[in-house]
Amino acid sequence: MSEVSQTWPEEFARRYRDKGYWRGETFPKMLRERAAAFPDRIAVVGGDQRWSYGELHARAETAAAGFLKLGLKPGERVIVQIGNRPEFLSVVFGLFYAGLIPVYALPAHRRTEIVHFAGKAEAAGYVVADRGDGFDYRALAREVKAQAPRLRHVVVLGEAEEFARFEDFAADPSLLPGDPSPSDVAFLQISGGSTGLSKLIPRTHDDYIYSFRASAEICGLDENSVYMAALPVAHNFPMSSPGVMGALHAGSRIVMCPSPDAQMAFALIAQEKVTITGLVPPLALLWMQAAANARHDLSSLKVLQVGGAKFMPEAARRVRAALGCRLQQVFGMAEGLVNYTRLDDPDEIVVETQGRPISPDDEVLIVDDEGNPVPEGEAGNLLTRGPYTIRAYHNEPGANARSFTGDGFYRTGDVVKRTPEGYLVVQGRATDHINRAGEKVSAEEIEDHLLAHPNVFDAAVVSIPDEFLGERSCAFIIPQGEKPKGAAIKAWMRTRNVAEFKVPDQILFVDAFETTAVGKISRKELRARLRQAFLDAE
Ligand code: J2J
């Protein structure tokens, strides 16, 4: 089994420790300390469950013993695919207590993605809920197991059928290993996947805990705060910006909202007196619309965070009037760097910018395509390096060489400019992915699936501005043989067992792609031209 690691050069690691960013905290230590300090305070609410910090800790210990008793060994990787319910936390902290490494999959992922994560992570275990949103995850687990030979154990919450049942796990403190080292990798997060399939992002206890501890501070979380996870909690934003982890660190209460549907969320906000939550822009638009005739009392809500994709100023300006709360823009990435507008920033900054970095030691460079800094205030490619930004993906030598500069800066792929006050404004991006309502879809990955269709000669997938989604995906297809129908192409994509958000929103058939006099143009250039031609024709 290969090791999972994430290291910074010694001089950087020393600086990050000396400056007090990395304090030697670990996930097990964090929860244990809070459970000891305020065992009876409510940590998490969801469905008909309300668990105190003490209870969450006890449940996590039981889970840890169960995982180890099954035969999973500390250091092994376990894919977690669970929606927004309290058990997400007992499973994940159970894995931390057992020295196991969670790999965070989204509920929308299907066989293709899970098999890919299982292979890359060499996962030995997979934890799912029996059903969610009308989908049977046990059937998915069967398919995954058939294709992922290293996967030894599937654990199911609820009706387990032939698999191990999470609820049957029993406590056994004698099984628990000692604490990890703060510089160990705590879990693998997944990348937005701008080229091809998602990559795995190893984050250490030290670096990640710094990012959400500082985020919790920036967002004003304390023991009186109630943070609601409305987006899928496995995503880096509701996980850590400040997310459920920041909330636990601050001793706040977490409310798990199973779906971001406005009516369900509003009912929970009123019932649990939620003070802060985070959304992607399209959901923020829906909530603002729904709030106009909401029956629920939303007055507890102090902060609405919006991020994951660009929130347009016109919409941003309406948040306060529509929802009666402050807006905070969040521009982050699972690889590290997270920017926030601050709660006391003037409206103009909150509306017009995507915030500034968490840390004084987040290094931000804005460069042209040759790597030279652009004049201050102009748009360029965002590169970053810092105390919670990774230096490498897991098991991706090729991508690592492309995604990081020689001196360790991460190439975000985003095009930004910086205001005189040091705030970033996202202008677009240099890489070809579609940011569909915050879900990142790689053009290349979809093209690969389309090319496997017998009646597709060639395909190029581009992003098209969309009033509601922000961007939608449009596939340009050159047919061969009998021309298929658009609906048949969508149905084909579904047979590929990928997350539904990867099915192209729009399909256009063309006779040929443009080539230049010197021969074929690059894919990137081709996508850019198709996109432009589409926009010009509108
Ligand atoms: C424009 N683009 C944005 C924003 C992310 C907090 C918040 C979001 C993420 C996230 C996250 C954007 N305006 N406000 O991990 O901790 C686009 C950029 C970025 C990419 C990262 C967090 N906020 N983006 O969205 O790993 O293109 O993380 O590089 O999913 O989303 O995507 P992801």
Q: What's the one-letter identity of residue 531?
A: R
| Sign of the torsion angle spanned by Cα atoms 454, 501, 329, 197 | negative
Phi, psi of 138 (to 5 degrees): -70, -40
**pLDDT tens-digit readout, 123-132:** 999 999 999 9
CA of 373 to the centre of ligand 1 (A): 23
| 443 in contact with ligand 1, CB cutoff 6 A | no
- Is 462 inside a domain boundary? yes
| 439 in contact with ligand 1, CB cutoff 6 A | no
CA distance 175 to 163: 22
| 414 in contact with ligand 1, CB cutoff 6 A | yes
CA distance 399 to 254: 36
- Is 472 inside a domain boundary? yes
- Is 475 inside a domain boundary? yes
**What atom of ligand 1 comes closest to residue 438's alpha carbon?**
25
pLDDT at 516: 60
User: 454: how many CB neighbours lie within 10 A of its CB?
Assistant: 9
CA distance 225 to 243: 12
Peptide bond into 504 cis (omega under 30): no
- Is 277 inside a domain boundary? no
| Cβ pair 454, 481 in contact under 8 A | yes
**Degrees to nearest 5, angle at CA 128 with 124 and 130:** 140
Number of folded domains in the chain?
A: 2
CB-based burial, 418-439: b 16+ in 10 Å, e otherwise: beeeebbbbeebebbbbbbbbb
- How far is the CA of 191 from the CAs of 57, 404, 476, in angstroms? 29, 14, 25
CB-based burial, 286-306: b 16+ in 10 Å, e otherwise: bbbebbeebebebebbbbbbb
| 310 in contact with ligand 1, CB cutoff 6 A | yes
pLDDT at 517: 54
Which residue, by CA, sits nearest to atom 7 of ligand 1? 332
Among residues 482, 454, 473, 375, the alpha carbon closest in space to that of 420 is found at 375
Any alpha helices (H) in 71-168, and if so which ranges?
87-97, 111-121, 137-147
User: 15: how many CB neighbours lie within 10 A of its CB?
Assistant: 15
Q: Look up residue 116 and give its two tokens.
A: 């890919």
Which residue, by CA, sits nearest to atom 27 of ligand 1? 414
CA distance 129 to 219: 31
| Sign of the torsion angle spanned by Cα atoms 433, 434, 435, 436 | negative
**Degrees to nearest 5, angle at CA 202 with 246 and 446:** 105
Per the listing, tokens 């939608």 go with 472
Per the listing, tokens 């460079």 go with 365
pLDDT at 215: 98
DSSP 324: S
User: 464: how many CB neighbours lie within 10 A of its CB?
Assistant: 17
| 241 in contact with ligand 1, CB cutoff 6 A | yes
- Is 274 inside a domain boundary? no
**What atom of ligand 1 comes closest to residue 413's alpha carbon?**
29
- Is 421 inside a domain boundary? no
| 329 in contact with ligand 1, CB cutoff 6 A | yes
Could you list the residue range(s) of the whole structural domain that residue 108 is in?
Answer: 27-35+48-180
58 dihedral zone (left: phi>0; alpha: psi -120 to 50; beta)? alpha
3-state SS record for 182-203: CCCEEEEEECCCCCCCCCEEEE
CA of 237 to the centre of ligand 1 (A): 8
Point out the domain boundary residue: 155, 180, 205.
180
| SS3 call for 86 | coil
Q: Which of 190, 241, 331, 410 to mutate to test the pocket of ligand 1 (most atoms within 8 A of CB)?
A: 331
pLDDT at 2: 76
Q: Which of 231, 333, 353, 439 to mutate to test the pocket of ligand 1 (most atoms within 8 A of CB)?
A: 333
CA of 333 to the centre of ligand 1 (A): 5
| 246 in contact with ligand 1, CB cutoff 6 A | no
Tell me what ipTM this predicted complex has. Answer: 1.00
Per-residue pLDDT of the chain (538 residues; tens, 9 = 90+): 778 999 999 999 999 999 999 999 999 999 999 999 999 999 999 999 999 999 999 999 999 999 999 999 999 999 999 999 999 999 999 999 999 999 999 999 999 999 999 999 999 999 999 999 999 999 999 999 999 999 999 999 999 999 999 999 999 999 999 999 999 999 999 998 667 789 999 999 999 999 999 999 999 999 999 999 999 999 999 999 999 999 999 999 999 999 999 999 999 999 999 999 999 999 999 999 999 988 999 999 999 999 999 999 999 999 999 999 999 999 999 999 999 999 999 999 999 999 999 999 999 999 999 999 999 999 999 999 999 999 999 999 999 999 999 999 999 999 999 999 999 999 998 888 999 999 999 999 999 999 999 999 999 999 999 999 999 999 999 999 999 999 999 999 999 999 999 999 999 999 998 766 556 678 888 899 999 999 999 8
Among residues 82, 116, 80, the alpha carbon closest in space to that of 98 is found at 80
CATH number where 71 lies: 3.40.50.980
Among residues 346, 349, 350, the alpha carbon closest in space to that of 319 is found at 350
Q: How far is CA 257 from the centre of its chain?
A: 16
pLDDT at 525: 87
Q: Look up residue 67 and give its two tokens.
A: 């995982």
Phi, psi of 55 (to 5 degrees): -70, -40
Among residues 245, 103, 76, 36, the alpha carbon closest in space to that of 177 is found at 76
Which residue, by CA, sits nearest to atom 32 of ligand 1? 333
| Cβ pair 464, 531 in contact under 8 A | yes
| Cβ pair 104, 130 in contact under 8 A | no
CA of 335 to the centre of ligand 1 (A): 10
- Is 70 inside a domain boundary? yes
Q: Look up residue 10 and give its two tokens.
A: 């010694």
Point out the domain boundary residue: 126, 146, 180.
180
| 341 in contact with ligand 1, CB cutoff 6 A | no
pLDDT at 522: 82
Among residues 143, 129, 147, 135, the alpha carbon closest in space to that of 81 is found at 129
Q: What's the one-letter identity of residue 50?
A: R
- Is 377 inside a domain boundary? no
CA of 308 to the centre of ligand 1 (A): 4
Point out the domain boundary residue: 145, 164, 180.
180
